Amino acid sequence: MSMGWVIYSVNEIDFQLKLVYGILTGQELPISLPDNWNKKTTDERVKVIGTLAKELPPSPAISRIINMCKQIKSLLDKRNHIAHGFLAMVGGGHMKMIKYDKSGHVHEMDYSQILQARQTANMICEGIDILRLHCRNPEFVAPYKPGEDINTWTINPRDQFASDQ
């Protein structure tokens, strides 16, 4: 069940990326996406958003969007492991997700790592929703003033994207 939640949550994140693109381009709903948006993978969409964010002046919102992209990229690796791997019973009756990469190397993911991926996916989804709400505040999206950085602003109760961890 946790494997399904990871896949589902990444799909939700993929949808939320459209809304983040709208924030970066200053668009209200409905958002006009690039012509090739729907042909891109989630990973490619994250790269589009990350590149666009890095081209804009740093602000509390932009700094968090850049960190968000790093967290999503890490999660996508786990999602792909789950989506393209297979469950195998290993010694002692334990189950692991096994995936072979293109070079033939085997990668394993145990149940605790799958649970961690599920928790991370849920936190990223929630973090994007909270970030989008804060982006309605003009001061949050305005460039940093001299001496300000990402630590100048705090999002309560949890600032999911204050760092790239």
Residue 106 lies inside a defined structural domain of this protein: no
Q: What is the C-alpha separation between 124 and 152, in angstroms, rounded?
A: 21
User: What pTM value is reported for the model?
Assistant: 0.88
Residue 78 lies inside a defined structural domain of this protein: yes
Residue 42 lies inside a defined structural domain of this protein: yes
Domain total in the chain: 1
Residue 44 lies inside a defined structural domain of this protein: yes
Given a cut of 80, whether residue 132 has pLDDT beyond it is yes
| Confidence at 1, pLDDT banded by 50, 70, 90 | low
Residue 165 lies inside a defined structural domain of this protein: no
Mean pLDDT of 86-115: 88
Residue 38 lies inside a defined structural domain of this protein: yes
State the burial class of residue 122 (Cβ atoms within 10 Å of its Cβ: 0-12, 13-18, 19+): middle
In the chain, DSSP assigns E strands to 86-90, 94-100, 106-110
Question: What is the token pair recorded at 44?
Answer: 């490619």
Question: What is the token pair recorded at 36?
Answer: 């090739």
Structural domain that includes position 35: 1-83+112-141
Residue 150 lies inside a defined structural domain of this protein: no
Give the per-residue pLDDT at 164.
66
- Helix 111-134 and helix 2-24, axial crossing angle in degrees, nearest 10: 30
The residue ranking higher by pLDDT, 95 or 54, is: 54
Mean residue pLDDT across the chain = 91
Residue 11 lies inside a defined structural domain of this protein: yes
Query: Phi and psi (nearest 5°) for 157?
Result: -85, -15
What's the distance, CA 35 to chain centroid?
A: 22
Mean pLDDT of 139-150: 90
Instruction: Return the percentage of the chain with pLDDT > 90, whole number.
Output: 71
